[in-house]
């Protein structure tokens, strides 16, 4: 793990690339008020050179955070530049999916494929989340936690999720939600021409099934997989299933 100095901002990464390996580079991009720790060991140990990032202001990456998806996308292009990576497979969850789409739209030459998990072409933000992010972050963390897991999730998972959200500063959290609210890729989805895998969760309360279906219907040649018995945190809740789906897809596009 290391802090990488880029032309825009320092970014902390967990670099799982193996020296001399010819496997594709995979960049894992987390969601709002989260960090690289949202990715399970199953995802970080794909048969590829996996790099999990902490977006600016998140995890171990220093502030400031951003308030537009385009800025986060530009930060990650700068990271690829700093690491001398010409092209990568981009995997994004929730807000991370929006960042991945933005990169595929604005920097297609740097993208060899994208995986969109629990995300949408437009990201709805509940008004209570937006208005309380700075004034009452604990309330926001409780709301997001309640909506993130499938029915039957145990209290330990809820507490872990709550603590992870609260580790993000209120200012950065609010900026994330502003960025999400301002994102709308619907008019441009047809421009995405790289191999695309869409993964949704049947019990996702934050990004319901229709959001994944819309992406699949409007991104030419995309594949769609729906994960049963999972909510918005499917990358932790059903990590083995998600990782296997992603690995199978990576093998297909190799």
pTM: 0.97
Mean pLDDT for 135-164 is 91
How far apart CA 39 and CA 21 sit, in angstroms, is 22
Cα–Cα separations (whole angstroms), residue 241 to 155, 165, 199, 247: 22, 24, 11, 10
Checking if the pLDDT of 238 tops 80, the result is yes
Checking if the pLDDT of 5 tops 80, the result is yes
The correct CATH number of 2-253 out of 3.40.50.1820, 3.90.580.10, 1.10.10.10, 1.10.579.10 is: 3.40.50.1820
Res. 142 pLDDT band, cuts 50 70 90: very high
Checking if the pLDDT of 48 tops 90, the result is no
Checking if the pLDDT of 116 tops 80, the result is yes
Predicted pLDDT of residue 155: 84
**Percent of the chain topping pLDDT 70:** 99
Nearest to residue 143, comparing CAs of 157, 162, 160?
162
Q: Where are the domains of the chain?
A: 2-253
């Amino acid at each position: 793990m290391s802090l990488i100095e880029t032309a825009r901002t320092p970014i902390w990464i967990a670099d799982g690339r193996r020296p001399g390996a010819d496997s594709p580079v995979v960049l894992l991009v987390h969601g709002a008020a989260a960090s690289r720790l949202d990715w399970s060991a199953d995802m970080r140990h794909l048969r590829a050179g996996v790099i999990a990032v902490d977006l600016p202001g998140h995890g171990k990456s220093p502030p400031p955070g951003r308030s537009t998806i385009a800025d986060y996308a530009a930060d990650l292009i700068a990271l690829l530049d700093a690491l001398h990576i010409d092209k990568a497979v981009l995997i994004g969850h929730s807000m991370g999916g929006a960042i991945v789409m933005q990169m595929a739209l604005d920097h297609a030459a740097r993208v060899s494929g994208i995986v969109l998990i629990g995300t949408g072409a437009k990201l709805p933000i509940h008004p209570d989340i937006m208005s309380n992010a700075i004034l009452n972050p604990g309330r926001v963390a409780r709301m997001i936690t309640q909506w993130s897991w499938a029915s039957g999730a145990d209290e330990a998972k809820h507490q872990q999720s709550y603590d992870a959200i609260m580790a993000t500063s209120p200012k950065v959290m609010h900026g994330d939600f502003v960025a999400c609210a301002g994102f709308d890729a619907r008019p441009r989805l047809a421009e995405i021409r790289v191999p695309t895998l869409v993964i949704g969760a049947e019990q996702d309360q934050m990004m319901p099934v229709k959001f994944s279906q819309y992406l699949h219907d409007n991104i030419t040649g995309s594949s769609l997989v729906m994960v049963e018995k999972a909510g918005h945190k499917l990358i932790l809740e059903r990590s083995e299933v998600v990782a296997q789906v992603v690995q199978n897809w990576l093998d297909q596009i190799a």
